[in-house]
Each structure stands twice: as C-alpha cells, then as structure tokens.
Chain A
Amino acid sequence: QKEVEQNSGPLSVPEGAIASLNCTYSDRVSQSFFWYRQYSGKSPELIMSIYSNGDKEDGRFTAQLNKASQYVSLLIRDSQPSDSATYLCAVRRGDTGFQKLVFGTGTRLLVSP
C-alpha cells in the first residue's frame, strides 16, 4: 500500500463545474496535509494546507480532512481552464520530528471550455 494514494486521472470537468480531487493516506498519525498544483513543465506550487478535521476554504478552493477515514480532498468551485494541471497531495508523517512530506503521484485535472 502506498503511503499517499491519488487517482492519476485525468479528471475531466466542464468550465464552471466543481472539481473534486481525493487523496488517502496510510499513516494514521499523520499531522499535516497539503495540496500542490503543478502545471506541465513547472514546479509544484502550494495552494492549500489543512491541519485539523473539517473544511478549510480559500477563494474557490476548499480542502476537507477526515482523519478517522484517513482521507483528504480538494474541491475547486467554478473550475476554469486555467485550473488544468496536476494536483499533488502531500502528507507530513506522524513519526518524524520535523518537516518531511510524502507526496502522492498526483491527479491530472482537465477543465474544458
């Protein structure tokens, strides 16, 4: 079992729709969770972080965390073609005393005009 799992996609949504990206993790004591956006040929860019159960909203983005189910998701409302990218989920493991993230392989999102 991979430490951080994501569906590779592509996830295709029409412009204006809600895109839902999902991530599961295996380390039950993981503490911190991050979503990165990576455009083709570019470096990952941090878009959301979440540390406690529930929802966290930032503009069109909402991160959702359920530690009991070991599940974290990212919702993108009013999806735009410019949101087309690969979205990486990253988890800070609970057994490390410092910041070291484990990344999923990413979900490719395609938003069609």
Chain B
Amino acid sequence: NAGVTQTPKFRILKIGQSMTLQCTQDMNHNYMYWYRQDPGMGLKLIYYSVGAGITDKGEVPNGYNVSRSTTEDFPLRLELAAPSQTSVYFCASTREDYGYTFGSGTRLTVV
C-alpha cells in the first residue's frame, strides 16, 4: 500500500517557468488537499477537492491551479513561477472525519 505519492521530491525552477506537481493516492480517499509549508509559518491550504471533478480554493490559491479527473490523482499546476512560491509542498488525502495522510513532499526553489 503506497499511500500518498508525490513527485518530484525536489525541483529548481526559473522565474516564469511552469510545472506540475503530481499527487496520487491508492486508498480510495474522496478528499485531497495541497498545502505549502514555509519556515515558521505552518501549513497553508492552497486547494482542495471533495471528489473527482470537484475542486475549490483554500487560503493561498493565487498562482496555482488544480484538477481532479480521477479519485486517485490531484495534480497542482504552477504557472509563471515566482520566488514567493519557493516552499515545500505537501499533498494529503483522507476519508470522512479522519486525520490526513500526507505525501513525502516536494521541495521547490524558484530562482
């Protein structure tokens, strides 16, 4: 059972480039989330999804987009990368009122 799988683990982007962070879960969870974590700032919710075809904005959605075409996959798209998007990104999933299962994270640097 792989749980929540994120790729890539590390990435360096130049300002203005775009990329997609991949997230896949094999637990048949309906709910999926993308968070970013900056030093000393805690986890901030970017986007979330309650099921295939349904997504919504979190606290810090600007500069990001998501899609949820299947239950398993929830990719996060960064368009026109900016230095402010340098962060560690975590994907998570859950079912009903349980705690989240997190992926291992993607460390992104924008230079």
What is A's interface to B at a CB cutoff of 8 Å? 8, 31-32, 34, 36, 42-46, 49, 51, 88, 90, 92, 98-101, 103-106
Contacts and interface: CB of A to CB of B under 8 A. Distances in A.
Nearest to B50: A98
Interface of B: 31, 33, 35, 40-43, 45, 48, 50, 90, 94, 96-105
B99 A34 contact: yes
B42 A88 contact: yes
The 5 closest A-B pairs by CB, nearest first: A105-B42, A46-B99, A43-B102, A103-B43, A34-B99
Contacts of B104: 42-43
A44 B97 contact: no
Given A43-B90, A44-B90, A99-B31, A106 B42 contact: yes
B70 to A, nearest CB: 19
B102 A45 contact: yes
Contacts of B33: 100
A15 B40 CA distance: 26
A100 B99 contact: no
B106 to A, nearest CB: 10
A43 B89 CA distance: 10
